[in-house]
């Protein structure tokens, strides 16, 4: 297995309300280079809180109460994300670890063109880049995610939901991070657009080599695209394993319940999950045969 790029150690987040809500409790995860790690669980289990805590984007009353998130650079250096001061945090966020937020329309500024929002990233983090180079880079990024560079002059409301999500993925890739955290990036998209987005993510991961934490309540989707899956319940990781292993031999009762909770239009409950995973297993078999 590839070396780690991100280690999450004994990580806990509380919401300081009355009574206190323990949203994330002693989470331990390790993300390897080039890996897609799926994070599954029902709404409210703490998935997004964990993601925001890792990149230190939590807002009060949420606070990190214990643990740390450690980034491992290719050069062998370790960066304790929790210990970074504001200036260092701004310098490293999006360059080492980036995030694709849930709800692209809310993440993009509605009164600023796509071009200006892209260029703002480079003027802030790459001030040495000239205007011509910046514009070329912005167009290249859009085309890399399947959007015509002519759309740089558009405003967010002029783009479809799928195009806005692609723009957000392109912006997250702008500084070539080694880790991308994706918080339900295909939510509210129709199934055809969802499939296209997933293909783009897989292709870009293979092409650029970044690692992904993919957060969703959609377990069949994770079974298809993830190398490993962590199942979260009530703020805790209750099961962690390879996608194929988790599908064929789930250990925790909650994981079994999740696998059984997706009905099929034509078959018995859980058959949709079986179909998605069977396709993945066939693909893995084909790769192994080709490699041999």
Q: Sketch the domain layout of the chain as residue ranges.
A: 4-261
Whole-number Å distance between alpha carbons of 74 and 60: 33
Starting at the earlier edge strand, list the strands of the sheet with 62-72: 21-32, 4-15, 62-72, 78-80
List, for residues 169-202, the tens digit of each pLDDT value.
Answer: 999 999 999 999 999 887 767 778 888 888 888 8
Percent of the chain scoring above 90 in pLDDT: 60
93: tokens are: 């966020």
**Cβ atoms of 117 and 174 closer than 8 Å:** no
The reported pLDDT for the residue numbered 195 is 82
Which CATH number describes the domain made up of 4-261?
Answer: 3.40.50.300
Percent of residues, the chain, with pLDDT higher than 70: 88
Question: Per-residue pLDDT averaged across 29-34, rounded?
Answer: 96
**pLDDT at 237 (0 to 100):** 97
The whole-model pTM stands at 0.87
Cβ count within 10 A of residue 130: 8
Terminal-to-terminal C-alpha distance of the chain: 19
Q: What angle do CA 106, 227, 278 make, to 5 degrees?
A: 105
Q: Average of pLDDT values for 126-152? A: 92
**CA distance linking residue 134 with residue 139, whole number of Å:** 9
């Amino acid at each position: 297995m590839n070396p780690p790029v991100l280690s999450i150690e004994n990580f806990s987040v509380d919401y300081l309300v009355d009574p206190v809500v323990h949203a994330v409790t002693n989470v331990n995860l390790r993300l390897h280079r080039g890996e897609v790690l799926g994070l599954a669980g029902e709404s409210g289990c703490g998935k997004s809180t964990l993601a925001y805590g890792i990149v230190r984007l939590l807002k009060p009353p949420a606070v990190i109460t214990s643990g740390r998130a450690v980034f491992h650079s290719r050069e062998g250096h370790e960066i304790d994300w929790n210990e970074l001061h504001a200036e260092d945090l701004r310098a490293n966020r999006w360059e080492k670890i980036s995030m694709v937020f849930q709800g692209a329309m809310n993440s993009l500024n509605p009164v600023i063109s796509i071009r200006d929002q892209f260029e703002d990233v480079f003027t802030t983090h790459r001030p040495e880049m000239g205007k011509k180079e910046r514009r070329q880079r912005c167009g290249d990024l859009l085309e890399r995610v399947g959007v015509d560079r002519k759309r740089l002059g558009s405003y967010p409301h002029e783009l479809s939901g799928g195009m806005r999500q692609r723009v957000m993925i392109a912006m997250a890739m702008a500084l070539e991070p080694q880790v991308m955290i994706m918080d339900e990036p295909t939510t509210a998209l129709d199934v055809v657009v969802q499939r296209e987005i997933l293909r783009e993510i897989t292709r870009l991961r293979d092409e650029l080599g970044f690692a992904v934490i993919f957060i969703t309540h959609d377990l069949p989707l994770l079974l298809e695209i993830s190398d490993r899956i962590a199942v979260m319940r009530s703020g805790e990781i209750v099961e962690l394993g390879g996608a194929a292993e988790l599908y064929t031999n789930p250990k925790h009762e909650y994981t079994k319940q999740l696998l059984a909770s997706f009905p099929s239009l034509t078959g018995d409950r859980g058959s949709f999950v079986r179909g998605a995973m069977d396709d993945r297993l066939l693909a893995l078999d084909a790769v192994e045969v080709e490699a041999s």
